[in-house]
């Protein structure tokens, strides 16, 4: 390449860097800014800051205290700087995304020279990031819908049965005591026939809320379908599970249900079964034992809790 061509190329490159829509900055081996273009200033809101010869930490600190540029995700400057330092200069070349306080996103490239300079290049990828985040949100919502009962917002039958199967295997593996309660609202058909399906739906939502509010952290509640619900109670014997469900009955009896209908009351029946220690006792056996015990409770007059005794 001759001298004239080389000079022409340098001129073109310098003009391009200066007017580029991509933000570009160069830091020396001591991390002081020795070059920047206007796009870099605009990207990080640094138009009012004397960038030249400032240290990288000074830039970051000014952005943090002024509330412009990169979003810190922490309220402590020293924590944020420590995080930046853990990533900065960590590889000869790296790509990373930066979220800005005004909602924009930048794709950054950081390249180290053999003499220790750092070249930073950023371009706006906000539109692509918004699409990506929207897709992620949609996927999360679809996954939630696939596992959630639409009316009550509880785990649906499929999701609950997955949890039940996991707990059954855990109980066998570690020898833990775990109980299952299958619960059915008494005379629910009469509620629908006498008060209408909207009232029936309100009852289901009320009962779901009652169950969810009274559970411990590791307990799982789900709607199996119709007016039938289930409680998974890890680390709980069948007698303790009976006590838990009986307290739910007492709580329901004390509820003010005037918002559903004046003078309205309802009850439920439940069958409780403990996961048996035998590896041959599977999730389906466990559900069957609790379900058949529920039928015994309903046959005994409803509004009661019965415990599986192995005779079903």
Catalytic residues: 227
- The answer to whether residues 77 and 64 touch, using CB atoms and an 8 Å cutoff, is yes
* Pairing label, strands 93-99, 33-36: unpaired
Phi-psi region of 89 (alpha: psi -120 to 50; beta: other; left: phi over 0): left
CA 264 to chain centre: 37
**Alpha helix locations (H) across the chain?**
3-19, 38-44, 56-66, 77-87, 126-147, 157-174, 188-195, 197-213, 238-253, 283-299
- The answer to whether residues 129 and 96 touch, using CB atoms and an 8 Å cutoff, is no
- The answer to whether residues 17 and 24 touch, using CB atoms and an 8 Å cutoff, is yes
First to last CA, the chain: 93
Beta-carbon contacts of residue 127 (< 8 Å; ≥ 6 apart): none
CA 86 to chain centre: 27
**Sheet order of strands, 179-185 included:** 220-225, 228-233, 179-185, 268-274, 305-307
Find the radius of gyration of the CA atoms of the chain.
32
Placement of tokens 């069958």 in the chain? 271
């Amino acid at each position: 390449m001759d001298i004239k061509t080389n000079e022409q190329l340098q001129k073109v490159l310098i003009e391009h860097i200066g007017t580029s829509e991509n933000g570009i900055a160069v830091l020396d081996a001591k991390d002081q800014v020795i070059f920047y273009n206007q796009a870099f200033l605009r990207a990080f809101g640094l138009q009012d800051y004397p960038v030249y010869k400032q240290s990288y930490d000074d830039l970051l600190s000014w952005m943090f205290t002024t509330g412009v540029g990169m979003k810190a995700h922490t309220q402590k400057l020293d924590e944020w700087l420590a995080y930046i330092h853990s990533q900065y200069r960590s590889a000869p070349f790296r790509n990373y995304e930066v979220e800005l306080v005004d909602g924009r996103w930048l794709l950054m490239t950081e390249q180290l020279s053999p003499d220790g300079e750092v070249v930073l290049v950023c371009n706006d990828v906000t539109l692509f990031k918004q699409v990506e985040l929207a897709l992620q949100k949609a996927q999360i919502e679809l996954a939630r819908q696939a596992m959630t009962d639409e009316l009550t917002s509880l785990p649906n039958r499929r999701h609950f049965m997955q949890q039940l199967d996991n707990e059954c295997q855990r109980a066998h593996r570690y020898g833990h005591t775990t109980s299952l309660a299958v619960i059915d609202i008494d005379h629910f058909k009469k509620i629908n026939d006498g008060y209408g399906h909207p009232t029936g739906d309100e009852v289901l939502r009320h009962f779901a809320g009652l169950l969810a509010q009274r559970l411990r952290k590791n307990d799982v509640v789900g709607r199996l379908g119709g007016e039938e619900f289930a409680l998974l109670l890890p680390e709980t014997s069948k007698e303790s599970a009976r006590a838990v469900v009986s307290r739910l009955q007492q709580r329901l009896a004390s509820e003010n249900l005037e918002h559903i209908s004046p003078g309205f009351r309802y009850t439920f029946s439940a069958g409780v079964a403990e996961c048996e220690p035998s590896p041959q006792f599977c999730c389906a056996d466990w559900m069957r034992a609790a379900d058949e015990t529920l039928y015994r409770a309903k046959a005994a007059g409803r509004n009661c809790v019965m415990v599986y005794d192995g005779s079903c």
